[in-house]
Amino acid sequence: MKELLPGDPERLGPYEIRSRIGTGGMGVVYLGRSPSGRLAAVKLVRAEVAGDEEFRARFRREIDAARQVSGAFTAAVLDADPDAAQPWLATAYVEGPSLRERVADAGPLPLTEARRLGSGLAEALTDLHRVGLVHRDVKPGNVLLAADGPRLIDFGIIRSDTLADLTDTGYVLGSAGYMAPEQAAGEHTGPAADVFALGAVLTFALTGRGPFGVGSAATLLLRTVNSDPDVSGVPDELRGVIQRCLAPDPVDRPRDRDLIAMLAPDAEPLPEWERPPRADPAPRPAMTRQPPQNSQNTGNTGNTGNTMPRPAPIPLARYGPGREAARLHPSTPAAPYPRATNTWAGSNPPRIAGPSRRALLGWTSLVGVVGIGIGARDCGGPHADTNAWGAPSSSYANPYTYLAPSSSDPTAGRPAAGPPQMLWHTTAVQGAALDSLGSAVALSQTDTTLYAVTKDGLAGLDRKDGSGRWAVTDAAVKPGTGTGHHAPLAEKDAIYLLSGSTVVALTPAAPPAVVWHTDAAGLSGPRLLGRAGASLVLYQSSDDGTSPQRVLVLDTVKRTVQWTLGLGPRDGVALTDDGLLIRAAAADKKVCAYLPADGRLVWSSSYPDPPIGFATVIAAGGRVYVDGSTIAVFDAKTGTDTATTSYGSYVLVAADSQTAYALDSSVGSATLFVAFEPGGTDRWRKSFENWQPGKDCAYLATPKALIVASPETHRVTALNAADGTVLWEWEEQLQNAWPAEAGYSLAADAGFLYVGASSGIYCFSISG
């Protein structure tokens, strides 16, 4: 449970609000208690969404349908008020961990337990479909494991099968890696899509990974529509049933009510002749791999033509019987989830907000500004809000594999030297314990202080030796329990920190003092993007980073909201070195620049090839990089399109003034990194076999290296900026198991690297 925040209601209807359970794109979920003592999960809709009368009408219909669901394996609707100033819905509170938490803590389920889970979920889906509801977001996080059986939660809101699908906004409802191919393609979604998701959830329950591995939303969507699901590791007794659930054509999937018996603990396995083939003899069009078409790409110093080239982009709507699946062991890198802040040479790397606290503590680049990967509508105006909810989320990965040489380059993946020299390590600052999930770090702009988020506030360390200078434990700066610990935003005249939805401003003097704090207009899950002049730029999303809503600009002098900018579910945003707010809107094929002070449009350029997943924007060295079906480069001041690369399936991860970096993990067990110059010319491409950094990595670009910090492998790796060779690696060691949500935060300064990790803060001497 999470503590209530300022502005949270004391009561909703008859329910006394006791604590927060979590937040989502449409609002906040609270733990409520009725006058009789019954506990309930009470969902409060955001005020701005509540003003949409069309939403209210849908909400009423959804409640009426959801009230009819009364199965043993669903959370019953207890009460609701769709006509309240802020509509709310109360469902039965379920005590127990989610399936995702259970697998993360104790590993895959035994066969019998998985059968009970599957049979119960099939019954829950039968109950939903009977009243015309389609869940559309069946995933491990939406399955709770109560003592008397599983519960399928989070149904009935904007998910009625009788309502039009929300695809006209460029929005796909569901979670990448678990949604059906037709759902990923934006086509009509019916009960069969939930059956597909059930098969994916059971794969996760039995193997610890989804059938399409892990990675960016774009990567997972691409695999869903173009690759066979990977069910290796699923016991033979259930492989046939799960393969039928995962059939690419909805008509080939079993009915929900039939699955109840097929998955029961005493059910017989399907005979071999009833199981789908493991490799369809009629493959869909192959994802061809070709060398880059750019004739100027002659400057490679890596394995050039010997590396695995990119797959040709394939339309999302193309799906059907499958090609042999690329086996994804153990995991693949995630797309850069939201992250950005203003930066300057030799200072804090920008942060990237993402689907978990792990991502919130990482995804960094030193000089470049890595933008938020979130969505597609149109550039719109300052108040062009959208009303979508739900979006791709990430899944757990398998245990890591060690970095191994590429078959095409015997030196690839082999460290040229040992780990860098460690100068100091600390686990506490003046008695203040650091965050066991990885303390977020940032560099002071006025002296040699390293800021670090602690469990109870903010601390300052001497960069030279790690000694503690001060620790602030004011209640106003205690990190919010619902949004993860965010790295502070350090300016010369102020330090900004988020405490839940509250923005806190502190003096940069030692020790800092709270100057003011204000609630971020009731936003759920706000993230600091940066500051331009007196304008502090934030963006809003849910706790898991999957439901972006809008950008909010706060006047730091008046401490009032200046304006807001509505975001589509896949828009990318960033702040340039000169203080322009950049938004990539895929649906409208536009990249727009705004003045943070008043929201005025400065320039707008065409977006060459929008992505099928999250858009990523990086602003660095006077340029704006945007990924999609290609990576485009724009002049940050004028919006002139200066270059378009041929990196069709690559995802941007970092940039500085000289080099931009992207990776491709869409096929096989290899990870392909590419470094290119601002003009779009390749510097190098490297293929690393069996090295998959995993989701929620932290990236940092220095003048001499790309630093990759992987929570999946617990390693920090430096790739040479000149040729892509591995300069060094460092592996974090813990006496006990790594926390499930642990992550890394990175900062660099004049030959020194600072790493915020689960086991403390480390300082290394590096060459660049």
Q: Is this structure's pTM higher than 0.75?
A: no
pLDDT score of 291 more than 50: no
Q: What tokens does 755 get?
A: 């790493």
> What is the C-alpha separation between 335 and 337, in angstroms, rounded?
6
Rg, Å, the chain Cα set:
25
CATH code for the structural domain at 99-276: 1.10.510.10
Q: What is the pLDDT of residues 614-627, one digit of tens each?
A: 788 999 999 999 98
Looking at 3.30.1330.80, 2.130.10.10, 2.60.34.30, 3.50.50.60, the CATH number of the domain 357-765 comes to 2.130.10.10
Greatest mean pLDDT range, 46-55, 385-394, 496-505, 745-754:
745-754
Q: What is the pLDDT of residue 594?
A: 97
Residue 462: strand pairing partners: 449
Percent of the chain with pLDDT over 90: 33
Q: What is the pLDDT of residues 152-206, one digit of tens each?
A: 987 644 344 433 333 333 345 678 899 999 988 777 789 999 999 999 999 999 9
**Residue holding tokens 């009625």?**
160
Q: How would you class 177 by CB atoms within 10 Å of its CB: exposed for 0-12, middle for 13-18, buried for 19 or more?
A: buried
Closest CA to 665 of 331, 314, 356: 331
Give me the amino acid identity at 296: Q
User: Which residues are within 8 A (CB) of 379 and not within 5 positions of it... i.e. 6 or more apart?
Assistant: 583, 585, 588, 590, 592, 601, 604
Q: Residue 621 — left, alpha, or beta (φ > 0 → left; ψ -120 to 50 → alpha)?
A: left
User: Which residues are within 8 A (CB) of 266 and not within 5 positions of it... i.e. 6 or more apart?
Assistant: none
Residue predicted with more confidence, 400 or 200:
200
Q: What tokens does 221 get?
A: 């969507």
When mean pLDDT is compared across 25-39, 83-97, 605-619, the lowest value belongs to 605-619
Q: What tokens does 542 get?
A: 């849910």
**Residue holding tokens 């992550």?**
743
Cβ neighbours, 10 Å, residue 344: 11
The b/e string for 356-377 (b: 16+ C-beta within 10 A; e otherwise) is bbbbbbbbbbbbbbbbbbbbbb
Strand, helix or coil at 406?
A: strand
**Residue 263 φ/ψ, nearest 5 degrees:** -100, -5
Superfamily of domain 11-90: Phosphorylase Kinase; domain 1 (3.30.200.20)
- CB of 768 within 8 A of CB of 751? yes
Residue 527: strand pairing partners: 539
> What is the C-alpha separation between 543 and 394, in angstroms, rounded?
13
**Residue holding tokens 């809107």?**
585
> What is the C-alpha separation between 553 and 579, in angstroms, rounded?
12
Q: What is the pLDDT of residue 714?
A: 84
If you write DSSP's letter for every residue of 708-732 in order, what string do you get? EEETTTTEEEEEETTT--EEEEEE-
Q: What is the 3-state secondary structure (H, E, C) of 501-548?
A: CEEEEECCCCCCCEEEEEECCCCCCEEEEEEECCEEEEEECCCCCCCC
Q: How confident is residue 377, by pLDDT bands cut at 50, 70 and 90?
A: very low
**Residue holding tokens 């620049």?**
593
When mean pLDDT is compared across 378-382, 715-719, 742-746, the lowest value belongs to 378-382
Q: What tokens does 657 get?
A: 């003034």
**Residue-level length of the chain:** 768
Q: How would you class 62 by CB atoms within 10 Å of its CB: exposed for 0-12, middle for 13-18, buried for 19 or more?
A: buried
- CB of 528 within 8 A of CB of 369? no
> What is the C-alpha separation between 303 and 390, in angstroms, rounded?
41
- CB of 701 within 8 A of CB of 663? no
Max distance between CA atoms of the chain, in angstroms, equals 74
Helix spans in 149-248 (H): 181-184, 191-207, 217-226, 236-245
Give the residue numbers marked as catalytic: 137
CA dihedral 244, 246, 249, 251 (to 10 degrees): 50
What is the number of alpha carbons within 13 Å of residue 134 lying toward its C-beta?
22
Q: What is the pLDDT of residues 580-591, one digit of tens each?
A: 999 998 777 899
Q: What tokens does 690 get?
A: 């069996």
**Residue 766 φ/ψ, nearest 5 degrees:** -125, 165
Q: What is the pLDDT of residues 457-470, one digit of tens each?
A: 889 999 999 999 99
> What is the C-alpha separation between 185 and 166, in angstroms, rounded?
12
> What is the C-alpha separation between 220 and 197, in angstroms, rounded?
14
Which residues of 46-200 form beta strands (DSSP E)?
77-81, 88-92, 143-146, 149-152
Q: What is the pLDDT of residue 313?
A: 29
- Residue ranges per structural domain of the chain: 11-90, 99-276, 357-765
Q: What is the 3-state secondary structure (H, E, C) of 462-483?
A: ECCCCCEEEEECCHHHCCCCCC
Q: What is the pLDDT of residues 8-22, one digit of tens each?
A: 899 999 999 999 987
Q: What tokens does 169 get?
A: 């906004």
Q: What is the pLDDT of residues 679-703, one digit of tens each?
A: 888 899 888 776 767 667 899 999 9
pLDDT score of 381 more than 70: no
